[in-house]
Chains A and B, each alone.
Chain A
Amino acid sequence: MPRLDTNPRVHFFTLFANRILLSTLLVFGTYNPSGNSYHHWLMRTETLTIPQVFVGILLFIGLVTMARMAFLSIGYFGVAAVSVMVLMGITFGVGLGFFGFQDVQITTYLVLFWIALVLGIGTSWSFVQKRISGERDVLRTPP
């Protein structure tokens, strides 16, 4: 049995990559501008069919779960921090001369990936905190 006082190694790359991949799948599966998404599937049919209801509830549960866990882990400050990191990444790119500010467009893809990044980093953060300071995020139930 794993004990509470052990502090095993965490593979940070796989940790973040898996969770960001999962949140990207959920967000882009719900809506993306390419034309293949749940939103476009809804738009193609006139009435709501039963498989659409099923997949919709599935996506809703996934998104609500990820959003709640991410928000419980990082809170308002963490969401703001990740957003500032994205903005600073753009500013760094400009500062290092990769592109100019006039080339940067806030496209739908950028916003969607931004959301996915917040969800992915939020769900990964508890593991990082546990590894570096030993503090666990605990939910007190019943509420």
Chain B
Amino acid sequence: MYEFGIIDCLARWLTSMMLVLGTYNPYAMSYYHWLYDFPGQVPLKITIGVVLLILHVVAILSSVRSLGLIGIGLLTALFASAAWVLIDNHLLNVEDPRVFTLTLLVILATLYGVGLSWSHLRNRLSGQVDSTDVTFNSPV
């Protein structure tokens, strides 16, 4: 039987990193820079924008559902204190505003990654299944 492992966690984390940093990052090419620095290609830009929006909504909704507000708060505190440890040991220079923005984006991407993995991890650790009650949510 297939079990959810470290590879699956890493895959989700890397995908969310690509999603978040592909949408915006302060260093290199991103969707944001493509939008503002390069004219033309409007239909393609709209299409990619909608795809990115859908992916963000999927990641945010599943993170909120599986972690809850308390989980997101605790994880944010954890990552912020981890960043603080790095800053305190001079491993992260947040005087540079680009590094600061990148830190925030990496924290957001890690939250997405943990949110996408948490229901699997919970099921593997305790056997409990997260579910979504879709009975009364349908508009039709």
Contacts and interface: CB of A to CB of B under 8 A. Distances in A.
Contact of B126 (A51, A61, A126, A142): A126
A64 B74 contact: yes
A123 interface: yes
Contact of B65 (A61, A122, A141): A141
B91 interface: no
Interface stretch (B13-21, B36-44, B78-86, B103-111): B78-86
A136 interface: yes
A2 B131 CA distance: 17
Interface residues of B, number: 25
Contacts of B125: 19, 69, 123
Nearest to B3: A2
A123 B133 CA distance: 24
Given A8-B1, A54-B78, A58-B78, A127 B127 contact: yes
A141 B127 contact: no
A18 to B, nearest CB: 9
B132 A54 contact: no
B140 interface: no
Contacts of B2: 1-2
Given A57-B74, A123-B125, A142-B64, A50 B84 contact: yes
Given A2-B1, A60-B74, A54 B129 contact: no
B126 A73 contact: yes
Given A60-B74, A61-B75, A139 B81 contact: no
Interface of A: 1-2, 8, 19, 50-51, 53-54, 57-58, 60-61, 64, 69-70, 72-73, 122-127, 129-130, 136-143
8 closest A-B pairs by CB: A126-B127, A69-B126, A127-B127, A54-B81, A123-B126, A137-B128, A141-B65, A57-B78
